Amino acid sequence: MASTRILSCSTCKRREPHRWLNTGEKQQLKQATGRRYVDDFLVCVAPGCGTLRTGLNENPFDKPRKLPDPQ
């Protein structure tokens, strides 16, 4: 799943490329949110963004959420 998709970003307020999360990022998101399934999340790759969304939902959280920093 290394390909990117052009999707709308709630932080950038425009359509930007998004990529699927890698295995480590998925594990971090599971720990940060308590969700058991995170395979449908993508991250905005615009410079300085990193906002998360799902394939169908631009705002899956109450407020826009960034990819957790690596530990």
Indicate whether 2 pLDDT > 70: no
pLDDT band of 1, cuts 50, 70, 90:
very low
pLDDT for 68: 67
pLDDT for 67: 82
pLDDT for 55: 87
* pLDDT tens-digit series, residues 20-52: 999 999 999 999 999 999 999 999 999 999 999
CA dist., res. 15 & res. 37, Å (int): 25
Residues 6+ apart with CB under 8 A from 1: 20
